[in-house]
Amino acid sequence: MISEFLRKKKKYVTINLNEKEDKKKTSMNIEFANRIVEKDIDEKIWIKCSNCSEILLSEDVEKNLYICNKCDYHFRMGARDRLSIVLDENSFKEYDKELKITNPLDFPGYSEKISKALEKSGEDEAVITGEGKINGIQAVVCAMEPKFMMGSMGCVVGEKISRAIERATRKRLPLIIFSASGGARMQEGILSLMQMAKTSAALSRFSEKRLPYVSVLTDPTTGGVTASFAMLGDIIISEPGALIGFAGPRVIEQTIRQRLPEGFQRAEFLKERGFVDKIVHRKNLREILFKILYIHTLEGEVNE
């Protein structure tokens, strides 16, 4: 016991040293990165890991499912890319593409924000919904687009997700939602808030048909999305390191006037607290989702 305790202590010290070294390395890498930026090297070619600061070839990162080759950091991923790594090729049929975003409260500056988001993300809204297959098993799938106004939920996002849930209910299909969202969209005010109620009510009806809903939390899942459909999965999966919470860390720090502990509101923390079933590496995501769907398709006949 005592020797174990001592060994632990020793380790603790070593970690500290390593951290220092890491910091040195990090600062070197930052310098390197700055030099690259100074030289105007195309950002489309290079990408810097937000975790280990390694400068990586964008092409390599893309091939590696947007995971850092060095430290395994999971980069944020666009909705289309997300669908392509999970679904069988050419199996996806998109729903409700015609639903167009509006400015229901005539919120000043919102229309310009929308145009910028369209340009930045290449999508019409912060979620793509539809039907696709995983190893041949049909499912309704929604994927949120973090590049579209931080994946925020306004009327169209709420409507698309609710319609997808209703279709899954009608067609008796399993449901998978990949969340990536900062929460309710401020520019649609109270209407955005009500989308939390709408999607949750749709899930309630889905659930009563005893159909499975797998919620996949990716970085970041916060605010009104966490406080509605994201936390209502029969099974809740998260990607490693994803920020998941109700209030954002900065808001909490401002409220309580103290620094938050390391790892607070990360996927691993949520799993430890009992709010996430499983943390799944992106490389294993497709396989795990398939297994879950497969198990749920089996007829549960028990001899009585």
Partner 1 sequence: MNNALEFERPIIELEDKIHELESFIRENEVDLSHEIDILKNKLDNIKKNIYNNLTPWQKVKIARLLDRPTTLEYIERIFTDFIELHGDRLYRDDYAIIGGIGLLDGIPVTVIGHQKGRDTKENIKRNFGMAHPEGYRKALRLMEQAEKFERPVIMFIDTPGAYCGIGAEERGQGEAIATNLLQMSKLKIPIIVVVIGEGGSGGALALGIGDRVCMLEHSVYSVISPEGLSSILWKDASLAEKAAEIMKLTAQDLLELNIIDKVIEEPLGGAHKDVDLVSSNIKNYIVKELTELLKLDSNTLLDMRYQRIRKIGV
Cβ closer to partner 1: 130 or 245? 245
- Minimum distance between the CB of residue 8 and partner 1, rounded to whole angstroms? 25
Of the candidates 12, 40, 108, 112, which one interacts with partner 1 according to CB under 8 A? Answer: 108
Closest CA to 234 of 277, 202, 288, 200: 277
- Say if CB 129 and CB 164 are below 8 A apart: yes
Of the candidates 230, 237, 267, 280, which one interacts with partner 1 according to CB under 8 A? Answer: 230
- Minimum distance between the CB of residue 233 and partner 1, rounded to whole angstroms? 10
Q: Per rule CB under 8 A, is residue 148 in the interface with partner 1? A: no
Query: Before 261, cis peptide (omega within 30)?
Result: no
Distance CA 206, CA 170 (A): 9
Of the candidates 32, 46, 95, 107, which one interacts with partner 1 according to CB under 8 A? Answer: 107
- Say if CB 49 and CB 23 are below 8 A apart: no
- Minimum distance between the CB of residue 228 and partner 1, rounded to whole angstroms? 5
DSSP 101-161: ---TT--TTHHHHHHHHHHHHSSSSSEEEEEEEETTEEEEEEEE-TTTGGG-B-HHHHHHH
Q: Per rule CB under 8 A, is residue 300 in the interface with partner 1? A: no
Total number of residues binding partner 1 (CB under 8 A)?
Answer: 57
Cβ closer to partner 1: 49 or 243? 243
First vs last C-alpha separation in the chain = 50
Cβ closer to partner 1: 92 or 229? 229
**CA-based R_g, the chain, Å:** 21
Cα–Cα–Cα angle for 257, 258, 260, rounded to 5 degrees: 130
- Minimum distance between the CB of residue 169 and partner 1, rounded to whole angstroms? 12
Q: What are phi and psi of 69, to 5 degrees?
A: -65, -20
Cβ closer to partner 1: 75 or 178? 178
Tokens 């970085």 identify what position?
219
Q: Per rule CB under 8 A, is residue 229 in the interface with partner 1? A: yes
Q: Per rule CB under 8 A, is residue 288 in the interface with partner 1? A: no
- Binding residues for partner 1 restricted to 234-253, rule: CB under 8 A: 244-247, 251-252
Binding site for partner 1 (CB under 8 A): 99, 104-105, 107-109, 154-156, 158-159, 162, 184, 186, 188-198, 200-205, 207-208, 223-224, 226-232, 244-247, 251-252, 255-256, 260-261, 264-265, 273-275
